[in-house]
Amino acid sequence: GQALNIALLPGDGIGPEVMDVAEAVLDLLIQRYQLPLGHTRFDWPSHAWHQSHGQMMPSDGVAQLREFDAMLLGALGDPGPLEDSSRFVLSDSVSLAPLLALRKQLDLWACERPARWLPGAPQYLADPRAREVDMLVIRENSEGEYSGQGGRLAPGTAQEVATQVEVFTARATERLIRHAFRRARQRSTQREVPRQFKNDKHAQVCLITKRNAQPFWGDLYTDTFHRIAAEFPDVDIHHELVDAACMKFVQCPWRFDVVVASNLHGDILTDLAAVLCGGPGLAPSANLNPDEPSLPALFEPVHGSAPDIAGQNLADPRATLMSLAMLLDNLAHHHPAIGSAAQHLHDLIQADLAREANGEAFSGTRETGQRLCQWLAA
Ligand code: NAD
Ligand code: IPM
Ligand code: MN
């Protein structure tokens, strides 16, 4: 068949450093498995915004990306003197950070952030059950608290009033929650040892809201959740207010399966979930449009551009490699060799982590890349 094309977007800060590793690993996988894959790297750092041309990518950037079969991103965010002040103006009333604009313009409304602890990963919780953490946070990726609407009245004065409008639609809520139930059911069929939830069910979806303080969207989410749950009698349902969910992510994270949350709640919970799995260097993610599988999905580590460690060879590239493995999984239906390469990459990451289980320390961005490449070339 036709070759598939992957867009690589290194971005800012540690983004290019972790992307160098991912690109080298991808090249070796392509060689070794004769994958029908090509890739193109786009150096579109968001700091370009601050420079003369005033935007991160060319005006047809999104149209260019849509032609690809998948995208891998390092990180976008340039906290320079203007601290994340770059915004894409999408319309008269909507402006968003570059990454959010990209997700929105590409219509990637579901964000999947798996959190599974793997042997060798740092374990920050003392309870041995913390090794059983295996959840999937599904985050709304198109609206909610990130609608980008609002403004500042009388900015800089003592009378200033800032508004930040949250918008929740039935359409986006329904598709999000239905997707969460489908994924919960699917995960339960893929597990060798079934998990046990209430009433002998093997899958669970936990809904997150703050409906005690934000009842309008909280009730929309809750009503939609119950209506859709009725279509999935095999899936157990649970609800947590977001503040209590934060406690339980630390107290008993092994109890969660699929967690479905709004854009902002999902953002916050997935940094917490990343730490349950060993830290920012080990948490991957996918931005997808499950209704339109022909639209390219965007894969990226959960972490950001980490300006505090950029340029020091300290960034763990494995969150990006895990995201690359998810990307390959997502394309595997095109060709069985892509699935084999994805599995090989998963295994390599686990083998690399297992070294740390034996007391080895994280050895540096480039060294990690070189070691994995040596294993792959062997
Ligand atoms: P961050 O995730 O960049 O960094 C938080 C902490 O985690 C830092 O101490 C950093 O050193 C550490 N860290 C992150 N990635 C690491 C890695 N691979 N290996 C080792 N340590 C790692 O979050 P921040 O500092 O709040 O944000 C920095 C910039 O990144 C901001 O501009 C923010 O908007 C942006 N950001 C982008 C994304 C994205 O592109 N997906 C995600 C989060 C934040
Ligand atoms: C993430 C990031 C982004 C978000 C930022 C960069 C706007 O934190 O991908 O988790 O909040 O979605
Ligand atoms: Mn985040």
The confidence score (pLDDT) of residue 126 equals 97
CA–CA dist 275, 123 (Å, integer):
8
The answer to whether 286 touches 334, Cβ cutoff 8 Å, is no
Q: What stretch of H or E contains 320?
A: helix 318-331
Query: For ligand 1, which residues put their CB under 6 angstroms from it?
Result: 14, 75-77, 79, 84, 99, 280-281, 300, 303-309, 315-316, 319
The confidence score (pLDDT) of residue 81 equals 54
The confidence score (pLDDT) of residue 80 equals 65
Q: Which atom from ligand 1 is nearest to the alpha carbon of 84? A: 32
274 ligand 2 Cβ < 6 A? no
Residue whose Cα lies nearest atom 11 of ligand 2: it is: 267
Q: How many helices (H) and strands (E) does the chain have?
A: 10, 14
Residue whose Cα lies nearest atom 12 of ligand 2: it is: 267
The answer to whether 245 touches 208, Cβ cutoff 8 Å, is yes
Ligand 1, residues 78, 139, 305, 368: which to mutate, most atoms within 8 A of Cβ?
305
The architecture CATH gives domain 1-109+284-378: 3-Layer(aba) Sandwich (3.40)
The answer to whether 168 touches 143, Cβ cutoff 8 Å, is yes
Q: What is the SS3 assignment for 54? A: coil
Centre of ligand 2 from the C-alpha of residue 348, in Å: 28
- Angle among Cα 365, 374, 20 to the nearest 5 degrees reads 35
CA–CA dist 107, 297 (Å, integer):
9
CA–CA dist 297, 25 (Å, integer):
20
Where do the structural domains in the chain lie, given as residue ranges? 1-109+284-378, 123-277
Cα 340 to the center of its chain, rounded Å: 23
The residues that bridge with 38 in the sheet, in sequence order, are 5
Ligand 1, residues 72, 298, 303, 324: which to mutate, most atoms within 8 A of Cβ?
303
Q: Which atom from ligand 2 is nearest to the alpha carbon of 97? A: 7
Q: Which atom from ligand 2 is nearest to the alpha carbon of 264? A: 11
HSE toward the beta carbon, residue 201, CA cutoff 13 A: 18
Ligand nearest to the backbone CA of 145: 2
Q: Letter for the amino acid at 270?
A: T
Regions in the chain scoring below 50 on pLDDT = 52
Which residue is listed with tokens 């080990």?
A: 282
3-state secondary structure 240-272: EEHHHHHHHHHHCHHHCCEEEECHHHHHHHHHH
ipTM of the complex: 0.99
Ligand nearest to the backbone CA of 113: 2
The confidence score (pLDDT) of residue 59 equals 80
The confidence score (pLDDT) of residue 51 equals 55
The confidence score (pLDDT) of residue 52 equals 44
Ligand nearest to the backbone CA of 316: 1
The confidence score (pLDDT) of residue 46 equals 77
Q: Looking at the whole model, is its pTM more than 0.95?
A: yes
Ligand 2, residues 95, 99, 138: which to mutate, most atoms within 8 A of Cβ?
99
Q: Residue 364, by phi and psi: left (phi above 0), alpha (psi -120 to 50) or beta?
A: left
Residue whose Cα lies nearest atom 37 of ligand 1: it is: 304
Centre of ligand 3 from the C-alpha of residue 345, in Å: 25
Which of the four CATH numbers 3.40.640.10, 1.10.510.10, 3.40.718.10, 1.10.10.60 does domain 123-277 have? 3.40.718.10
CA–CA dist 28, 20 (Å, integer):
13
HSE toward the beta carbon, residue 280, CA cutoff 13 A: 15
CA distances for 148 relative to 49, 143, 219, angstroms = 18, 8, 22
Centre of ligand 3 from the C-alpha of residue 279, in Å: 13
